[in-house]
Amino acid sequence: MAKFPVPVSNTVKDLRARVLQWRKAGERVALIPTMGALHDGHLELVRIAKRSCERVITSIFVNPAQFAPTEDFDKYPRTFEDDLAKLASVGGELVWAPDKGEMYPVGFATKVIPAGTAEGLETDFRPHFFGGVATVCCKLFLQALPDIAVFGEKDYQQLCVIRQMVRDLNMPLEIVGAETVREADGLAMSSRNRYLTADERAKAVKIHHVVNGVAAAAARGAGLENALVEGRRALTYAGFGTIDYVTVRDAETLKDWTHGTGRPGRVLAAAWLGKTRLIDNVAVPAAA
Ligand code: PAF
């Protein structure tokens, strides 16, 4: 058996046995769901989990159910050894790395179909996505039985969908949202950033400037429509191709947001730069 810098579990049976031992010792367990290709944003999730849990499990599973046939499942970066070394450096206790047959055995047929916060935004462009995410996260939660699971705000709609699923289905765990970790210039860290060419990487940060600009107008309560139009124009000017959306939504329900409702908003954007789809989002504080 290969010697890894962090213990790796490949079967639900083995995972459950380890978690049971921790529970018997009265230890709290956290789960960090990932698809690998780990970067500092993921490691920050582990650090956050360690503040309230003695044991942190990081799952690494590139989930075929959340990719459309036209998407990048085959070329999604797989960097398992490197991921393990990174997790060892932040003290991750266990990696849960099932193969496809363990996650979706022959005959697997049950799906979680999220609604509410899953409607619109990403779903308008990736209709298969949240069904795949909700189903695999439901399975991961039941496999690992964690006290908490930590998700990055970078995938903001995903975080809202998972919170809603856990609430709606009375799943006995807490979902913790973690602030987006950014590169020095402000670009949100993402496993897919490695697809960018050097030229695209230099342009990519524009999406962050645009969501910040829209958030400033939304917070002022003036010039929002103009900021949205200008934001799209700025992305095109910077070299972005298709702009899927730039919008402001209610931070919890993801329904339409207007200034002065007393509710926090969230600016969300998704746009293509070459062959890479980038997303970003920032908060808009509630205004009375
Ligand atoms: O955010 C991701 O990496 C994935 O969508 C997740 C939550 C691990 C489910 O496969």
Q: What is the CATH number of the domain that holds 83?
A: 3.40.50.620
149 Cα to the center of ligand 1, angstroms: 12
Write the residue with the smallest CA distance to atom 5 of ligand 1: 133
My answer on whether 174 and 199 are in the same domain is no
pLDDT band at 152 (very low <50, low <70, confident <90, very high): very high
Name the one residue in this structure whose structure tokens are 């690494």: 60
Evaluate if residue 2 carries a pLDDT over 80. Answer: no
pLDDT digits (tens, 9 = 90+) for 82-113: 999 999 999 999 999 999 999 999 999 999 99
The strand pair at 265-273 and 276-284 is best described as: antiparallel
Select from 63, 60, 35, 58 the least CA-distant residue to 48.
58
Q: What is the pLDDT of residue 60?
A: 98
pTM of the model: 0.97
Position 271 in a domain: yes
Q: What is the mean pLDDT of the chain?
A: 97
My answer on whether 203 and 114 are in the same domain is no
Among the atoms of ligand 1, which is closest to the Cα of residue 59? 8
Average pLDDT over residues 148-175: 98
137 Cα to the center of ligand 1, angstroms: 8
Select from 41, 38, 61 the least CA-distant residue to 132.
61
Residue 35 Cβ inside 6 Å of ligand 1? The answer reads yes
240 Cα to the center of ligand 1, angstroms: 25
My answer on whether 170 and 60 are in the same domain is yes
Ligand 1 mutation pick, 57, 103, 133, max ligand atoms within 8 A of CB = 133
Evaluate if residue 69 carries a pLDDT over 60. Answer: yes
pLDDT digits (tens, 9 = 90+) for 214-228: 999 999 999 999 999
Residue 136 Cβ inside 6 Å of ligand 1? The answer reads yes
Q: What is the pLDDT of residue 101?
A: 98
Q: What is the pLDDT of residue 10?
A: 98
My answer on whether 128 and 83 are in the same domain is yes
Position 236 in a domain: yes
42 catalytic? Reply is: yes
Ligand 1 mutation pick, 66, 111, 150, 190, max ligand atoms within 8 A of CB = 66
My answer on whether 166 and 197 are in the same domain is no
Position 84 in a domain: yes
Q: What is the pLDDT of residue 287?
A: 84
Among the atoms of ligand 1, which is closest to the Cα of residue 61? 10
Position 3 in a domain: no
pLDDT digits (tens, 9 = 90+) for 242-267: 999 999 999 999 999 999 999 999 99
CA angle 64, 44, 14 (to 5 degrees): 55
Q: What is the pLDDT of residue 181?
A: 98
Residues of the chain with pLDDT > 70, as a percent, come to 99
Residue 171 belongs to domain spanning:
8-178
Q: Which of 178, 207, 240 is the last residue before a domain boundary?
A: 178
Q: What is the pLDDT of residue 3?
A: 80
Instruction: State how far the Cα of 268 lies from the Cα of 173, in Å rounded to an integer.
Output: 27
My answer on whether 68 and 209 are in the same domain is no
Position 184 in a domain: no
Residue 122 Cβ inside 6 Å of ligand 1? The answer reads no
Instruction: State which amino acid sits at residue 148.
Output: I
How many domains in the chain?
2
My answer on whether 19 and 129 are in the same domain is yes
